[in-house]
Homo-oligomer: A and B are copies of this chain.
Amino acid sequence: MLLPTLREQVLHANKEIARRGLAPHTFGNASGIDRLGADGSGREPLVVIKPSGVDYAALTAADLVVTDLDGKIVEGSLRPSSDLDTHTLLYRAFPQIGGVVHTHSEFATSWAQAGRPIPCLGTTHADYFHGPVPVTKPLTAQQVAEAYVRNTGEVIVQRFRDGNLDPIAVPGVLVAGHAPFAWGISVAEAVEHADVLEYIARLAFRTVLLRLQYDPSGPSDSAIPVYVSEHHYQRKHGPKATYGQL
C-alpha cells in the first residue's frame, strides 16, 4: 500500500474534523500530499484523500484514495471525495502547502453564506491569519457548468492572486455561498487552521452584533490597528518569533 504514513495522517485529520464538530454528517474532507511521490524517487507528487460520502467513524487508512495531481486514481477502490478537483488545484497553485481541509463548520460557513470576509477584530485572529479571512467571488454560471469543483479552486486561487495574498500567511478562505477551505504545511496544521478559522468566525460574529447594538451607524468591521495585528502575527510566525518552544 502506497504512503502508509501519510495515509495515517490523513485518516487522523478526517476523524479530527468530525470529532471537533467541524463537519457534521459527511460535510467535509481532508487530504495530504507527498510532493516527492511515494518512494522519493522523483515520481509525480501523490495526493491522499477521503473517499466520497463515507462516514468518518467507519473510515480506515485503506479506504483512502491516492491520486496524482491531475486527480487520476493511482491506488484505491473507492471513489474519491467529490471535492477532489478543488484539492488538487490548490496543491498545484500553492506549492508550499502539504494538506487541505474542507469543512462546513457552522460559523465560518455562515460568513461564507453572507459573502463577507472576516475582518481582523482581535489578536486571536491576528495570531493565525495575516489580514482578513478572504471571501471568493461567486462562481459564474459558466464556471459552474464547465467544471464546478475545479473552478471552486480557481476562484480561490484568483482571490489570492488578485489580493496578492500569501497562502502560508493566510491559511484559509471562504468560498462565497458555500463554506471554508483551510490548509497548512501539513494536513495536521490544516486541521488546526480549520478549527481556528471556525473559532475566529464565532468571535467575529458576536463582535459585529455587539458593535451594532452600540453604534448602529458606524462601520462594524473596523479592524484592530495594524501595529497590533502585525505584532501578534510576527511574534508567532516572524523570524524573531517568541511563541512556543524553540
Contacts and interface: CB of A to CB of B under 8 A. Distances in A.
A205 B206 contact: yes
B206 A107 contact: yes
A159 interface: no
Contacts of A216: 216
B144 A227 contact: yes
Contacts of A220: 213-214
A1 interface: no
A230 B123 CA distance: 34
Contacts of A78: 245
A141 B225 contact: yes
Contact of A208 (B124, B195, B213, B246): B213
Nearest to A54: B245
Copies per complex of this chain: 4
Contact of A213 (B104, B113, B177, B209): B209
Contact of A113 (B106, B122, B245): B122
A123 B196 CA distance: 22
Interface of A: 24-25, 27, 51-54, 78-79, 82, 104, 106-107, 109-114, 116, 121-124, 138-139, 141, 144-145, 148, 177-179, 192, 195-196, 199, 202-214, 216, 220-221, 224-225, 227-228, 231, 235, 242-246
26 contacts: A24-B195, A25-B196, A25-B199, A51-B245, A79-B244, A79-B246, A104-B124, A109-B124, A110-B203, A110-B206, A110-B207, A112-B122, A113-B121, A113-B207, A113-B224, A114-B206, A114-B207, A116-B214, A122-B178, A123-B177, A123-B179, A124-B179, A139-B228, A141-B225, A209-B209, A214-B220
